Structure 1
Amino acid sequence: MSFQAQEMSIVRESYKVAAQDKTHLESFYDMMEPITKSDHVALVAYKGAALALQAKYAKTIKEKKDGFIDGVSYIEYAIEKEPNAIEPRFVRLGIQENAPKILKYRNNIEEDKAFLLKQFEHIGSKNLKGHINDYILQSKLFTEEEKESIKE
């Protein structure tokens, strides 16, 4: 279990860095490439994020759109499979917050935001809690009051 937890902390950190810095995206994408929909829902969601982030840098508009749709399908699959799992919701919120408006992938922002705030105190993993905390504190989606509510 601790090896698995350690692996997840690496995946989370790689996602965070790749989302902010294109130069780290390829290694995150390569890490997620072998993941299939039969893997743990958190990994499936991160694979979707890797595909969606990679699509941003595709050459043609069609490749960008197709890659993004493929990525979103993994994220949505993970949430459909385990609607109460916090990590896929966290990933979806990050992707939706940063998706171009033209892609119209913003429908679950309020739902996922409320879900994260409600479930935050129940997160067992210190590593995951830290990543979600960091995300909330830097996100423009959350009010100052909401940011204060998660401080420990």
Structure 2
Amino acid sequence: MKNIFILLFFISFFGNAQDLKEIRAQYPKAVESTEITAKFDGEFSNVDSSSKPTLLAYKGAVLTLKAKFAKKKSDKIDFFKEGVSLIESAVKAEPSDIEIRYIRMSVQENSPRFLGYHKNIEEDKEFILKNYPNVSSKELKMVIKDFVMNSENFNESENSAFK
């Protein structure tokens, strides 16, 4: 019986790792795609406050993208507020997780200024610069590197650390 639980754990673990790999690859593309955003929204429907903070942060980011694509102003506001709340909950739960910091920075960087969700850009930028060398996942390193290289918040000198 114990072996069954161990087997189920590894299936679940590798399934989640594969899902996270796909999420990382698709998330940057969701910024310009209602289809990818809608797909993510469906996939994250079961993610809640008891879920892994990284998934919570991605769900929050997807909700902010839903706000971007929503037609009604009230939906835009509701989706954005809920998304920000989830991202901030994830940061609070795992403040030293570089992936969550990257997600928050990407949302803040792309949020309209009038929404006022920009206060942590410098903090997250410094965190990313300091902790990037310690990232063990090749996929995550590539996603963060691509983000940094395309971000207006990192200068040429800072970008050189990612080349």
Answer whether TM exceeds 0.5 for this pair: yes
Counterpart-to-counterpart distance in 1, 2:125 and 2:115: 20
Contact 1:78 1:88 in 2 (8 A): yes
- The reply on whether 1:105 has 2:117 as its aligned counterpart is yes
Counterpart-to-counterpart distance in 2, 1:141 and 1:99: 14
1:79-101 deviation line (CA, Å, top 9, x unaligned) = 00111111111100000000001
Aligned sequence identity (%):
40
Contact 1:54 1:67 in 2 (8 A): yes
- Give the Å deviation of 1:30: 1.4
Size of the aligned set, in residue pairs, is 151
Contact 1:14 1:28 in 2 (8 A): no
- Give the Å deviation of 1:2: 3.8
Q: One-letter code of the match for 2:32?
A: Q
- The reply on whether 1:76 has 2:76 as its aligned counterpart is no
- Give the Å deviation of 1:66: 1.3
1:20-63 deviation line (CA, Å, top 9, x unaligned) = 32332211221222211111111000000011100112222222
Q: 1:37 aligns with which of 46, 49, 68?
A: 49
Counterpart-to-counterpart distance in 1, 2:25 and 2:124: 21
- Structure with the greater alpha carbon radius of gyration: 2
Counterpart-to-counterpart distance in 1, 2:77 and 2:59: 16
Contact 1:46 1:91 in 2 (8 A): yes
Of 58-67 and 136-145, deviating more is 58-67
Counterpart-to-counterpart distance in 1, 2:128 and 2:45: 27
Q: 1:131 aligns with which of 140, 143, 148?
A: 143
Q: One-letter code of the match for 1:72?
A: V
Residues 57 and 20 of structure 1: is their aligned pair in 2 closer, same or farther, counting only changes over 3 Å? closer
Counterpart-to-counterpart distance in 2, 1:27 and 1:57: 13
State the match for 2:63 in structure 1. 51
Structure 1 SS opposite 2:69? coil
Q: What is the TM-score with the length of structure 1 in the denominator?
A: 0.94
1:102-132 deviation line (CA, Å, top 9, x unaligned) = 1000000000001001000000111111100
Q: Please give the root-mean-square deviation of Cα atoms over the aligned residues, in Å.
A: 1.2
Runs of 4+ off more than 4 Å: none
- The reply on whether 1:12 has 2:18 as its aligned counterpart is no
Q: What is the TM-score with the length of structure 2 in the denominator?
A: 0.88
Q: One-letter code of the match for 1:128?
A: L
Question: Which 5+ residue runs of structure 1 have no aligned equivalent?
Answer: none
Q: 1:115 aligns with which of 112, 127, 132?
A: 127
